[in-house]
């Protein structure tokens, strides 16, 4: 007995409706991302294919993906990659999924007037490597290092560097900042450290709290424990005139400014993300 044809429009609408019953955030977007991968086309092109009849293998693949989404699995893990700063990065449970707001952190470094062509840039808590790799791709003469305490995350970062053809230009190490650099030797320190308060971690969306590493999210009681640990080491590691760039929570600007100024950083500025929320703290030493 043959089954009724399934159009793209029906697949998207029925999939999103099913995910809504499972309280999955952004259900339509996630279904569209699955479909775009399946048909190897840009997501916006789906709207010109609403009447397209999906093949039975495509219908089966969509259903498998939607079932995985219904369990709370991130769409990025299902796809196996995410686009960040114009490049595709492999993602999996070993490291935090790169977010669009972190692209603002990368751009803040690239736009900084103090960034020399051959600057030594250290990414603390590199995770997937998306920040330091994006910087290296944008500025070929930068000397780039990514640090993390997780060997699993570092393995993922190395995979991404190799896939993007710059594994010879970015060094990765399992270390803290104080372990591997000399005083006053670094030009730029950039970091997307854990900055979510411990109690708030339990209220994060399901796909985040169950699939991103807790160690990449939890910043202690007020979200600032790791930032407080790293900033003093950064003040020692940076050369005179060097810059620090931190991603922060939307309500943490005043507290982070105080931490930076308390360690001798000057000219502290707070940059906003694309939604107008405080997101990046910048200071010089």
**234-267 pLDDT, tens per residue?**
999 999 999 999 999 999 999 999 999 999 999 9
Query: Is residue 211 in a domain?
Result: yes
CATH number at residue 216: 3.40.50.150
Nearest-5° Cα angle at 202, 85 to 252: 55
| Residue-range definition of the domain harbouring residue 22 | 8-71
Q: What is the pLDDT of residue 3?
A: 67
Rounded CA separation 62/52 (Å): 14
CA distances 111 to 156, 245, 284, Å, are: 27, 12, 14
Q: Give backbone dihedrals phi and psi of 96, rounded to 5 degrees, phi first.
A: -60, 135
Per the CB < 8 A criterion, the answer to whether 82 and 88 are in contact is yes
Rounded CA separation 175/39 (Å): 42
Domain boundary, last residue among 71, 103, 119: 71
Query: Is residue 30 in a domain?
Result: yes
Query: Is residue 245 in a domain?
Result: yes
Both 98 and 67 in one domain: the answer is no
Both 57 and 108 in one domain: the answer is no
Domain boundary, last residue among 38, 71, 104: 71
Query: Is residue 266 in a domain?
Result: yes
For 182-230, write each residue's pLDDT tens digit: 999 999 999 999 999 999 999 998 889 999 999 999 999 999 999 999 9
Both 166 and 40 in one domain: the answer is no
Both 54 and 106 in one domain: the answer is no
Rounded CA separation 194/198 (Å): 10
Both 103 and 151 in one domain: the answer is yes
Domain boundary, last residue among 46, 71, 96: 71
Q: What is the pLDDT of residue 192?
A: 98
Query: Is residue 236 in a domain?
Result: yes
Rounded CA separation 136/124 (Å): 15
Both 30 and 128 in one domain: the answer is no
Both 60 and 152 in one domain: the answer is no
Both 156 and 250 in one domain: the answer is yes
What is the full per-residue pLDDT of the chain (285 aa) written as tens digits? Answer: 346 799 999 999 999 999 999 989 899 999 999 999 999 999 999 999 999 999 999 999 999 999 999 999 999 999 999 999 999 999 999 999 999 999 999 999 999 999 999 999 999 999 999 999 999 999 999 999 999 999 999 999 999 999 999 999 999 999 999 888 899 999 999 999 999 999 999 999 888 999 999 999 999 999 999 999 999 999 999 999 999 999 999 999 999 999 999 999 999 999 999 999 999 999 999
Rounded CA separation 264/98 (Å): 30
From the list 58, 78, 42, 72, the residue with the least C-alpha distance to 8 is 58
Q: Give backbone dihedrals phi and psi of 182, rounded to 5 degrees, phi first.
A: -80, 155
Both 144 and 252 in one domain: the answer is yes
Query: Is residue 79 in a domain?
Result: no
pTM as predicted: 0.92
**Antiparallel, parallel or unpaired: β 143-148 and 120-124:** parallel
Query: Is residue 78 in a domain?
Result: no
- Structural domain count of the chain: 2
Both 15 and 115 in one domain: the answer is no
Both 96 and 119 in one domain: the answer is yes
CA distances 255 to 249, 258, 268, Å, are: 10, 5, 12
Rounded CA separation 113/186 (Å): 16
Both 51 and 124 in one domain: the answer is no
At what angle are helices 8-21 and 56-70 packed, to 10 degrees?
A: 20
Query: Is residue 77 in a domain?
Result: no
Chain center to CA of 230: 19
């Amino acid at each position: 007995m043959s089954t009724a044809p399934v159009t793209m429009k029906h697949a998207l609408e029925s999939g999103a409706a099913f995910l809504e019953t499972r309280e999955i955030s952004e259900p339509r977007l996630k279904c569209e991302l699955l479909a775009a991968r399946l048909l190897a086309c840009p997501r916006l092109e789906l709207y010109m294919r609403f009447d397209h009849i999906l093949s039975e293998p495509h219908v089966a693949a969509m259903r498998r993906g939607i079932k995985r989404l219904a369990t709370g699995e991130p769409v990025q893990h299902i796809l196996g990659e995410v686009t960040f700063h114009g490049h595709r990065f492999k993602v999996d449970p070993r490291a935090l999924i790169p977010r669009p707001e972190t692209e603002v952190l990368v751009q803040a470094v690239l736009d900084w007037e103090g960034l020399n062509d051959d600057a030594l840039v250290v990414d603390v808590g590199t995770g997937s490597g998306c920040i330091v790799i994006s910087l290296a791709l944008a500025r070929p003469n930068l000397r780039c290092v990514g640090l993390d305490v997780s060997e699993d995350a570092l393995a993922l970062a190395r995979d991404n560097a190799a896939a993007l053809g710059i594994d010879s230009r970015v060094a990765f190490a399992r270390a803290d900042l104080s372990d591997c650099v000399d005083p006053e030797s670094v030009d730029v320190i950039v970091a997307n450290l854990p900055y979510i308060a411990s109690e708030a971690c339990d209220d994060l969306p399901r796909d985040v709290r169950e699939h991103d590493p807790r160690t990449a999210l939890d910043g202690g009681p007020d979200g600032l424990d790791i930032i407080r640990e790293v900033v003093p080491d950064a003040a020692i590691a940076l050369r005179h005139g060097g810059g620090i760039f931190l991603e922060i929570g939307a309500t943490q600007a005043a507290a982070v400014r105080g931490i930076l100024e308390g360690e001798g950083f000057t000219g502290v500025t707070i940059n906003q993300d694309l939604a107008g929320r405080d997101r990046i703290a910048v200071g010089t030493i």
